[in-house]
Amino acid sequence: MVNTTALKDDNKHWHQDHALWMQEVEQWQHDIEKLLAILYLLERALPEHSSALTKHTQLIDEHEHMVSRYECGMDERCMPTCPTFKSLEEQETFHQRLSKLHLEAKQHHLDLKQRYSAEMEKFRVLVKQLMDEC
């Protein structure tokens, strides 16, 4: 004869196991969602900063090119027909403009440097958080 009490006890344990498993699965899903959110933030941080670095590099290159052209036009061997040639008055005006552009580029660099440090710290915190979650 079958002992129904034992069968019912087994069923009760199975229900408890199923409930526990569901709780664990829900926790795992929650953990995965948190990890994905952190990964998203990490992934987003890098391209944004890379883009800023690329633009800053272009700014520096443009300024360097302008300075080189300016120096060429200042050379005493530069002929008045040369497109980079500048008269003394033009040289002074251009020098003032380059000086202003240089200060702007320097400030931009300092701002980027500060932002880079702050963003790298945020990145480190996110990586630590990601590692702690695993």
**Residue by residue, what is the 3-state secondary structure of the chain?**
CCCHHHHHHHHHHHHHHHHHHHHHHHHHHHHHHHHHHHHHHHHHHHHHHHHHHHHHHHHHHHHHHHHHHHHHHHCCCCCCCCCCCCCHHHHHHHHHHHHHHHHHHHHHHHHHHHHHHHHHHHHHHHHHHHHHHC
Q: Is the alpha carbon torsion for 98, 100, 102, 105 positive or negative?
A: negative
Angle between the N-to-C axes of helices 88-133 and 4-74, in degrees from 0 to 180, rounded to the nearest 10: 170
Which residues form the domain of 92? 4-133
Q: Specify the higher pLDDT residue, 42 or 104.
A: 104
pLDDT in tens, 56-97: 999 999 999 988 887 777 777 766 777 666 777 888 888 899
In the chain, the number of structural domains is: 1
The pLDDT of 16-37, averaged and rounded, is 94
pLDDT in tens, 108-130: 999 989 988 888 888 888 888 88
pLDDT at 105 over 80: yes
